[in-house]
Amino acid sequence: MSKSERLFELLTVLRSKRYAVTASELARTMCVSERTIYRDIQSLVTSGVPIQGEAGIGYVLQAGSHLPPLMFTEKEMMALELGMRMVRAWSDTELADASRSASTKILSVLPDKLKQQVEEFSIIVPDIHTQTETACYGQILRHATDNKCKVEIHYTAQSGETTIRKLQPLGQIFWGKIWTLVAWCELRDDYRHFRVDRINEISVLDETFSIHEKKCLQDYVSIHAKQK
């Protein structure tokens, strides 16, 4: 790896952190010596990159600093564009609009050769967003999850039985065409999951909830991973 490539990787690592990172941690991440990290940090500072910190304490980019946009390899760009097309096809309106805006910003800084490769991408995902009722419910649930608001749903199970549940929405999982809501069900006092396309009605309640390490999406995923 050349010095310029190493400096770019170091800058990428620093940009991904919200806290100070020690030289030893940077050295382990990049598989180089701490002395190399010290030299590279000095090179970045000398070139005008706004890095705060010192040896033995840690380094962090200054808050509010603006750096040139990251450039991607061809494969990285293809993966990003494919992912954003999937978001536009299978998520709610807000995320679809955000994905479209992100694609525009990234494409605006790509060289013409890479732009052409994106346009001629050989894997096709229909870049058309359909605002279904399921997508609308997904957006409502996403906001309720972010705001820690309880919801009440009218739900039709696979058996055809319809129930009303008061839930604490913890997150959604996409399985390929099907979105599943993971929630804490107050009726069962336990985790339950619900197919969003089987929700007939949803209301956001004026009640909030809190999460902790034994009641969160990550804990649900961990439990089910151990069961497989």
The band of 166, judged by pLDDT with boundaries at 50, 70 and 90, is very high
Residue 122: is its pLDDT beyond 70? yes
Residue 13: is its pLDDT beyond 60? yes
Q: How many CB atoms lie within 10 A of CB 170?
A: 22
Tokens for 217, please give them. Answer: 């999406």
Domain boundaries 3-61, corresponding CATH code: 1.10.10.10
Residue 15: the pLDDT is 79
- Average of per-residue pLDDT across 119-142: 80
Per the model's pLDDT, the better-predicted residue between 200 and 228 turns out to be 200
Tens digit of pLDDT for each residue in 15-69?
A: 777 788 999 999 998 999 999 999 999 988 888 888 888 667 899 887 766 555 5
Distances (CA, A) of 28 to 24, 32, 51: 6, 7, 19
Torsion-angle region of residue 184: left (phi > 0), alpha (psi -120 to 50) or beta?
Answer: beta
Q: Where are the domains of the chain?
A: 3-61, 74-119, 133-227
Indicate the pTM of the whole model. 0.65
Helix (H) or strand (E) holding 35: helix 34-46
Average pLDDT, the chain: 86
Say if domain 133-227 classifies as CATH 1.25.40.340: no
**What are the E-state strand segments in the chain?**
51-54, 58-61, 149-156, 162-174, 179-185, 190-195, 199-208
Residue 53 and residue 23: Cα distance in Å, rounded?
10
Residue 196 and residue 134: Cα distance in Å, rounded?
6
CA–centroid distance for 93 within its chain:
16
CA–centroid distance for 208 within its chain:
24
* Burial class of residue 196 (count of CB atoms within 10 Å of its CB; 0-12, 13-18, 19+): buried
Amino acid at 33: S
Helices (H) and strands (E) in the chain, counts: 8, 7
- Give the total residue count for the chain: 228
Residue 127: is its pLDDT beyond 70? no
What phi, psi does 199 have (nearest 5°)?
-80, 125
